[in-house]
Amino acid sequence: MIPLGMAIFTGLEQQAVIVAGLPASTALFLPVSTPPNAIIYSTGFLTQKDFRTGGILIGPRN
């Protein structure tokens, strides 16, 4: 998405990188970021709050 955003928004490359990269790097905070997470979330045993801890610990570091 980042190269596509940079190609479409010429002159705004830095903003395009931030807008595309930030949501992608925080996907682990969401229960539907991967199919296994979506399956576990759909059981009702976990809430979105339960995914935050793992997302913070496992998520990418800058």
Instruction: Give this prediction's pTM.
Output: 0.42
Q: pLDDT for 1-34, tens place per residue?
A: 778 888 888 888 888 888 887 777 666 666 666 7
47 vs 36: CA distance, rounded Å: 14
Q: In this structure, what token pair is assigned to residue 15?
A: 């903003």
Q: Is the pLDDT confidence value at 62 over 60?
A: no
CB count in 10 Å sphere of residue 8: 9
pLDDT of residue 59: 62
Helix (H), strand (E), coil (C) string for 1-62? CHHHHHHHCCCCHHHHHHHHHHHHHCHHHCCCCCHHHHHHHHCCCCCHHHHHHHHHHHCCCC
